[in-house]
Every structure is written in C-alpha cells, then in structure tokens.
Structure 1
Amino acid sequence: MKVLVVGAGIGGLTTALSLHAAGIDARVIDRVQRLHPLGVGINLLPHATGALAELGLHDTLAAQGVATSELVHYDKFGNEIWREPRGIAAGHSWPQYSLHRGRLQALLLDAVLGRLGPGAVRTGHRFTAATQEDRRVQVTVEDHTTGTTAHLAADVVIGADGLHSGVRAHLYPDEGRPRWNGIRMWRGVATTAPFLSGTSMLMAGSNHAAKLVAYPLTTATPGDDEVLVNWVAEVRMAQDAQGEAEWTRTGRLDDVLPHYRDWRIAGLDAAAVLSSSEPLLEYPMVDRDPLPRWSFDRITLLGDAAHPMYPVGSNGGSQAILDARAVAAGLAGTADPVAGLAAYESARRESANAVVLANRDIPMDRTLRTVAERAPAGFDRIQDVLSEAELRAIGDGYRRTSATR
C-alpha cells in the first residue's frame, strides 16, 4: 500500500511516521518551497505526548519543551480566579508540553527524513486535483520548482494540508470561507523573567472583551534570569474586521497594545512582553463547521483539514496527532484501503467534531465574564464573587475542550 500525505505540518508528518511504523509506504508533499520553522508556541496535551512517545519521540520532545505543571486564571487586575494542575501533576501518564511550533515541526521532519529517507518529503508541490480509479488515486500537483504539472499515483491520499486545505476544497468545493467568531488574536514570543512556578500557563481576562495567555517555552538555568515566553492576546472586535486567516500575517503593535497597557499579572508585565516581541503575528479566531464525512473511498482528511477548531483548549495540534495514529491503525488493520479509511473515520470523526463544537461554545468563558460583571474593579477573594458550583464550571469547561479522544 502506498499512501500520499498532502501537507508537511504536525499532522502530516506524524501520519508519515505512524504509517512507516505500521509498515506502510508513505510520502509527503507540501506546497511551500522550503519548510521553515514557522509559528510561535504550541501545547501538546498528555494524550498527544503519549502518542508521540509510541513513535519513540518522547526524549527529543522533552528536550525541546517545558513540562507544564499548572494552569492559573486571573482577572485583568491580577486577582486569581482559578487554578488546576496539568500533565503529570494532574495524574496523567504523560506530561503536557509547551514548545515552539517550529521546533516541533522540525523534530518531526528530522524523524521522517531519518526513518523514511531523504526523498520522503517533496516540497514545492501543490495539490490541485485527484481522480479515483478502481484501485488507486491519480493526483495532479503543481510543481513550483519546474513550473510544470505533475501526476502522482497512490493507493490512498490523506489531506493534512491545514485550514485552507486543497484536498478538502476538492471534496467540498462549495464550502466557502472559514467561520469567524469576532475575536482577533495577536501572537508572539519574548524574553522575560520567569513567572509563577516557571512551568505555569497563565490566562487572564476573558473572550468577552480581552484575554491574555502566556506560558514559557524554556526553563530558567543557573545564572540566567530570563526565559522565552509565548503569548497570545485575544480581543473581541467589530464583525467587519476579520481579515485573512494566514498564520504568517504580521500585525501592528498599536492595534493590540492599548487593550493590555495596564495589565500586570503574577509578575508579568503584559505591555512590556507585547512590546518586545518580533515578529508579531495577527490572526482571526476561525474554524469550520463539522463535516458529515471525511473519507471518500481512497481519499480522507486529517487534522485542521478535517476539523479546524478554536484554540480554546490547546487541543488542535494534539487532535491532529491522534488522527495520525488512528489513520495508520485503520490502514494497517486491513488490506482494503477503503475499509481502513472508514475505520479511521469511525474512530475519530465524532469525537473530533465534538471538540470543535465545545471550543466554539467556549464554556468556561461564561463564568469568567460573570467575574468581570460582578467585580468590575477587582476582588479580594474569588469566593466572594463566584459560588463553588460556578468555580467548578471553569474546570469542567476546560475538560470539555481538552478531550482526550
């Protein structure tokens, strides 16, 4: 069985490694001419860490990331609302890791090239169309290196080419643009003094107005009093301000800084962190409606191509890794590729779509908005603002959006 994976992101590269481990021939194509370490930070939840450990990547992953120990939420004045342990501290078998997305992609790429061979990934090849024949798929690609059209044959095609998936557009040509929820995100990395435990993820505010997320990508070492911190600023905007959903789009500091100028949370000066970040990326919070079907005979979808979701539960990349492991298991379990893809979809589509809808609901944000309404000038004790049931609702919301299946 020969499988063509479209897209060399986290999902596509993990798929190639998983197929290879299952004894299935896999090749990857990507439309970019050169794979650069793009993006900023990413969180891998324990279920994704365990899946990568099955591929023998845990030691490399641990060397690149920070094992997150807790999540702490504050109001914009720095008053603590809620906290809970994460990863090993929460009783999971594997850590939750925070690391640079580019480093994660690079370690996956190195593993693919080392295990599958230097020709396993072809860059500069953009998927344009596919024709299913009786026992194979003919794929048409634009070869940006030669400026010509090429044709590739495979037994199975897996579209792992992200939010703007060419494979998804081929299967659903009338779908249209991604859905925007009115929130714009600015992202960046900066060096700053360690905050809280040094392995804590910090959240402040709410998506009703403005929210800040920050977590370290490195740990402090003796004699070094700074760490690299990833931050995400989320601001609700006018509905006509969506802009293009491109991860590499550069944003303007003046558009985001006024929302955070006076925020000082757990020793973190939000304005200073935002101001010292270069580049600063801007992106609308978008997803797509859940699909009723991913697989069409020998073609299927995976990761953001199948189920793009809001980054509410730090689960997008983790869900793509689970997809990768499941599609390899499905194909390895049968000699019939169509049956293998059907098994994969049966295992993954319903649960992944449920996470999409849970993230769209942003359940924990209703309680956080209540804090802002009841205590607009801050508070001394959160118990004076929220009941025990309301506090539990925050944790319940995070668990819904951090599903492990």
Structure 2
Amino acid sequence: MRITIAGAGIGGLATALSLHAAGFEDITVHEASHQIRPLGVGINLLPHAVRELTELGLAGRLAAIAVPTAELAYFNRYGQAIWSEPRGLAAGYRWPQYSVHRGALQMLLLDAVRERLGAHAVRADSRITGLRHDSDLLIGADGIHSGVRAALFPGEGAPPWNGLVLWRGTTFGEPFLTGRSMIMAGYGTQKFVAYPIGDGRQINWIAERPLGGEPPERGNWNRPADLAAVVGHFADWTFDWLNVPGMIAAAEAAYEYPMVDRDPLPHWSRDDVVLLGDAAHAMYPVGSNGASQAIIDARVLAHSLATTGGTAAYEEIRRPATTALQLANRQQGPEVVMRLAHERAPGGFDDIEQVVPLAERTAIAASYKRLAGFDPALLNGRASWSLR
C-alpha cells in the first residue's frame, strides 16, 4: 500500500512511524513549510501518548529532551490552592507524563522518520491542497487549517473563536513548587499556566483572558505578542510562590493565539482519504490533550489499516472519543474547578473544602481522565496497539 501523509507536524510524523512499525514501507510525508524548524513553545504529553511513543522505541530520546511532570496543581487568582494531584509514574501509571518543547518533539519525530523510512520520506515545501494524490491512501494530518479537510467539507470557514486569547511564552527562571510542577491559576475566563521544559530552568507559560473586537489571525501559533500588554492584564498576580507578571515580562519569546477549535465532524473518511489530529478534531488547549490525541490517532489508524485493510475501525474508535473530548474542553474540562472556586468564593477562601469539597474535586479529575483515555487502571491494563 502506498500512503501519502499531508503534514509533518507531531500527528503526521507519529503516523509515519506508526505505519512503519505496523509493516508499511511506502510512506511519504508532505509538509507545506519551506523548511521544517523547531517552532512553538511547550506542550504536555500525557501518559497515554508517552506509552505510544515508548512502544515506538522512542522512550530514551524523549526522556532526554523532556521534564517528567511530578504534579498538576490548580490555584485561584490569589495563588490559593484548589486541587493538586501527582502525575505520571507518581500517580501509578506505567509511563511518565512529560513537559517538552513542541519543536524539540517534532524534530525528534522527524529524525526518527528519516532514519527508519529514509532521508527522502519527508518532503518540505510540498503542500497538499485537495484530494488528488497518487497513492492508495491520503491521510490529512495538516492541522487546524487542513487543506484536506477543506476539500472534504467545503464551505466550513474559519475556526470558531470563543472570545478568549492565549499568550504563550518561555522564560528562564527559578523552579517553583516541586521544580517539576504544572500549575494553573485563575478562573473561567482568565488564567495563567506554567511548567518547566528543557533542562527545567526554562519555564513555559500561557496567559489567557477575553479580547474585545476581532481576534488576531486564527490558527497561527507563531504571531508575536506584545509583552507589555500581557503584563498589564496580570499586574497584581504576584503569589508567595510565583511572580506571574515578572515571569511574563522576562520572556525570551511570546506568541498570541485566539482560542479556537473546530466543530465535530459527522465522518473523517471518504474513499481513499482520512483525517487525523487537529485536521479531524482540533480542540481547545484544555487538559493538555491536543498533541497526545494526535499520537493516539496515529497508532490506532496504523493498527486499523494493518488488521482490516481500511479506516473504518480507526474512525469507529477515535471519532466518538475525540468528539466527546472536544465538547468537554468547551466546558473547560478538568479546569472547571477553578471556575467553581471563583464563582463560589470570588474574593478567596480560608478553607477550600467549604467551597469545592474534596469529593467534587476528585470526581471532576477522575471523570476527565476516563473521558480522555488516561485513567490509570484502564490505561495500564488495556492491550497494546502494536502488532509486532
């Protein structure tokens, strides 16, 4: 089978590696950019995605470029603790959770594809804009502005915007809390996220709030941000354990991005074409799931093609799961605990148990893990997608 992949992002490259591991050899990845460079800032890889990369033989390489996340903690806008939980191995998973620079992960996958499939398996400056191709299967892994998706669903238009804007940046600074903590502070419409990447001294951060008027370019992760304006929105967010405005002001780079996603689709495939990753199910960056879900897509698609010769099983497994996740992320996913704490105690609290009881917080966290596919017991116990 000859396979063409549109897009050399994390999803497209993970798909090429997954197909090769499943026994497919004639695979070509087409990337629209003139040059594939390590762009972007940090992302989180949840244990279910780390499992798939481990089973692809990439565990050592991944560990060398990533920080194993020790805990996830939520705070209100005054820095008061709402909820915290261990992550990765400390939470009972068989695989870690990692914080990593998106570009570094992409380059790791790119190197592995070229090693395993050949130097010419990935072609830059080669955009696929429609459904015409000279292979047996075209996989549209070309992101939120997918040309393949646009050809399958003409007239869909720009990604819908929810009125919020994200500013994403990296700052060299001192470790906070455990030194491997991922924190989220704020409430429903304004929050700040931070976690270490690289060698642990580089802090990746995300600031979020509403933006009036028309949004900046939708779906462009690399639009430079005005740091002074961002600092102004978080000027009094100085906690005992983290100086939010100081971290923003000291950023080495920052980018502006309107919070957009895509509406769920009625189907992902037609004839000899199938969608994957953000092209199939772009979702709000809530719950650290975008890249992780694309990696899982890749593994399930490869398994479906190798065992059934088609994509029906892939879509049957993945489309309902990611549709539910897209809709849950529109309702703030596990981050809803911050909104509840703000609504019930907007001026802060003395005892979080009187505001959002432990049973409620625990249920919210557990429900999202089950929905997103990384409940510890279910993930540890399920069969592998590997075939050999």
Q: Taking structure 1 as the reference length, what is the TM-score of the superposition?
A: 0.88
> Contact 2:159–2:218 (CA<8 Å) still a contact in 1?
no
> Contact 1:312–1:401 (CA<8 Å) still a contact in 2?
no
Q: How many residues align?
A: 374
1:359 aligns with 2:359: no
> Contact 1:74–1:265 (CA<8 Å) still a contact in 2?
no
Aligned-partner SS, 1:214: strand
> Contact 1:180–1:286 (CA<8 Å) still a contact in 2?
yes
Q: What do residues 265-298 of structure 1 show as CA deviations (whole Å, max 9, x unaligned)?
A: 4522111111111321000111111111001011
Superposition map of 1:99-178 within 5 A: 99-131=100-132, 139=133, 153-178=134-159
> Contact 1:287–1:309 (CA<8 Å) still a contact in 2?
yes
Moved more, 53-62 or 277-286: 277-286
> Contact 2:218–2:260 (CA<8 Å) still a contact in 1?
no
RMSD of aligned residue pairs (Cα, Å): 1.7
> Contact 2:167–2:255 (CA<8 Å) still a contact in 1?
yes
Q: Which residue of 2 aligns with 1:252?
A: 226
Q: Which residue of 2 aligns with 1:328?
A: 302
Aligned-partner SS, 1:127: coil
Aligned-partner Cα distance in 2 for 1:365–1:96:
18
> Contact 2:74–2:184 (CA<8 Å) still a contact in 1?
yes
1:187 aligns with 2:168: yes
Aligned-partner Cα distance in 2 for 1:243–1:112:
31
Superposition map of 1:291-310 within 5 A: 291-310=265-284
Q: Which residue of 1 aligns with 2:382?
A: none
Query: Per the alignment, do residues 293 and 191 of structure 1 end up closer, same or farther by CA in structure 2, a change over 3 Å counting?
Result: same
Which amino acid in structure 1 is aligned with residue 115 of structure 2?
A: G
Which has the bigger relative contact order, CA under 8 A and spacing at least 6?
2
Gap runs ≥5 in structure 2? 380-388
Q: Which residue of 2 aligns with 1:268?
A: 242
Aligned-partner SS, 1:8: coil
Aligned-partner SS, 2:119: coil
Q: Which residue of 1 aligns with 2:93?
A: 92
Query: Per the alignment, do residues 274 and 383 of structure 1 end up closer, same or farther by CA in structure 2, a change over 3 Å counting?
Result: same
Work out which of the residue numbers 269, 285, 295 in structure 2 matches 1:311. Answer: 285
Superposition map of 1:185-224 within 5 A: 185-208=166-189, 210-219=190-199
Query: Per the alignment, do residues 397 and 231 of structure 1 end up closer, same or farther by CA in structure 2, a change over 3 Å counting?
Result: farther
Moved more, 276-285 or 364-373: 364-373
Aligned-partner SS, 2:223: coil
Structure number with larger C-alpha Rg: 1
Identity of aligned residues (%): 52
Report the CA distance between 1:256 and its aligned residue. Answer: 1.6
> Contact 2:38–2:104 (CA<8 Å) still a contact in 1?
yes
Gap runs ≥5 in structure 1? 132-138, 140-152, 221-226
Which amino acid in structure 2 is aligned with residue 215 of structure 1?
A: Y
Aligned-partner SS, 1:154: coil
Report the CA distance between 1:239 and its aligned residue. Answer: 5.8
Q: Which residue of 2 aligns with 1:373?
A: 343
Q: Which residue of 1 aligns with 2:384?
A: none
Report the CA distance between 1:364 and its aligned residue. Answer: 4.0
Report the CA distance between 1:69 and its aligned residue. Answer: 1.2
Q: What do residues 324-381 of structure 1 show as CA deviations (whole Å, max 9, x unaligned)?
A: 01111111114x4xxx111221121111111111111114454422322333332232
Which amino acid in structure 1 is aligned with residue 157 of structure 2?
A: G
1:4 aligns with 2:4: yes
Report the CA distance between 1:397 and its aligned residue. Answer: 5.6
Q: What do residues 237-261 of structure 1 show as CA deviations (whole Å, max 9, x unaligned)?
A: 3364354321111111133212211
Aligned-partner Cα distance in 1 for 2:268–2:6:
15
Report the CA distance between 1:393 and its aligned residue. Answer: 4.6
> Contact 1:7–1:160 (CA<8 Å) still a contact in 2?
yes
Q: Which residue of 2 aligns with 1:35?
A: 36
Aligned-partner SS, 1:128: coil
Aligned-partner SS, 2:253: coil
Moved more, 340-349 or 313-322: 340-349
Aligned-partner Cα distance in 2 for 1:250–1:401:
34
Q: Which residue of 1 aligns with 2:320?
A: 350
Aligned-partner Cα distance in 1 for 2:255–2:371:
24
Q: What do residues 48-71 of structure 1 show as CA deviations (whole Å, max 9, x unaligned)?
A: 000011110001001110111111
Which amino acid in structure 2 is aligned with residue 370 of structure 1?
A: L
